Amino acid sequence: MNYNEVFCEVNKLLKSHVDNGTVASYIPELQKVSPDKFGVHLCTVDGGNFAFGDSEEKFSIQSISKVLSLTMAFEIEEDKLWKRVGVEPSGNPFNSLVQLEYDEGIPRNPFINAGAIVIADVLVSKLKKPKEDFIKFVRQLSGNNQIDYSDRVAQSEKSKGHRNAALCNLMKSFGNIENDIDEVIDFYFDLCSIEMTCSELARTFLFLANYGKDPVSGNKIISSSKSKRINAVMQLCGLYDEAGEFSFKVGLPGKSGVGGGIAVVHPGKYSMVVWSPRLNKKGNSNKGVRFLEEFTSYTESSIF
């Protein structure tokens, strides 16, 4: 299939779409991004690459990085990981304190903020140099040694990170955070600050489209069983409290970030990233969701 032609056709279908979303304003650095940017990149497991729009412009991947930190932690901790974090949809905003209190410090899943903070705590405990080791892992997956954290974005998040600190303190009170709170939170903000292009990020997610094995390098990243489970968590929990509607409309495992990116995978076929900074009320890319809905309908390529 010529996905470049498909992208053009789907984009035509969206010409009448009025994007009334807004750029994330609670992180000062993200507010500076042009709201009209739009990029798409798709990598097939057999080596194809297809692009559209601003696919080579870097953006803040934000919560999409949580899939990668989960992958690393799951490989280290095996099934012990699920004693500290669940795999259920939260049904609540991604930064909710109420549910965490009710569940006695065990986050519903690893993609809400509390769950990703627990994952960060695991990596702080298990890695000798968490920040260096994690970015090395991301560079390995992307095939690009220039991928890096953005100190500018991380500092911007830290300046407004009081609620995340509250989540971490609450979990610490229940015994579900092992390390120093400041160290865990700093690492968490670093994870979210990584900047990548659509093409780099789609390349990074290829291993999840190929049952845990990177089809480019031939390296086994994780087992097919773990890949299946990570894709399942993305399907159920990857778009905050809009995951059900995303499954209904798009039908692919995916993970969004408030930088406007959405990464999706079709196991056995492709990984794909769309980027459009205007967010809907749920914190997901407004145009990105619409594009993916039209794309999977046009290509008849959902997993259902």
Sign, Cα dihedral of 245, 191, 224, 106: negative
* CATH number of the structural domain spanning residue 228: 3.40.710.10
Residue 304 lies in a domain: no
Helix 286-299 to helix 3-13 angle (10° resolution) is 120
**Beta strands 195-196; 254-256: pairing state:** unpaired
Radius of gyration of the chain from its Cα atoms, rounded to whole angstroms: 18
For 232-282, the pLDDT digits (tens) are: 999 999 998 899 999 999 999 999 999 999 999 999 999 999 999 999 999
In a domain, 118, yes or no: yes
Do the domain assignments include residue 185? yes
- d(CA 251, CA 235) in angstroms, rounded, equals 8
Look at residue 10 and tell me whether its pLDDT is greater than 80.
yes
Query: Residue 4: pLDDT above 70?
Result: yes
Task: Check residue 188 and give its pLDDT.
Answer: 97
Contact 54, 38 (CB under 8 A): yes
Number of domains in the chain: 1
Greater model confidence, 227 or 161:
227
Q: Which domain holds residue 239?
A: 3-299
pLDDT of residue 93: 66
At 137-193, the pLDDT tens digits run: 999 999 999 999 999 999 998 888 889 999 999 999 999 999 999 999 999 999 999
91 in helix, strand or coil?
Answer: coil
pLDDT for 90:
80
pTM: 0.96
**Calpha distance 216→267 (Å, rounded):** 15
Query: CA dihedral in degrees (139, 140, 141, 143; nearest 10)?
Result: 80
Give the model confidence (pLDDT) of 40-54 as tens digits: 999 999 999 999 999
Backbone angles phi, psi at 264, to 5 degrees: -130, 160
In a domain? residue 144? yes
Q: Assess whether pLDDT exceeds 80 at residue 95.
A: no
Pick the range with the lowest mean pLDDT from 14-23, 179-188, 286-295.
14-23
As a whole number of angstroms, the distance between CA 233 and CA 208 comes to: 12
Residue 138 in domain:
yes
Is 189 a domain residue? yes
pLDDT at 18: 80
Residue 254 to residue 237: CA distance in whole angstroms: 9
> What's the Cα-to-Cα distance from 242 to each of 20, 161, 197, 205, 228, rounded to whole Å?
17, 23, 24, 21, 21
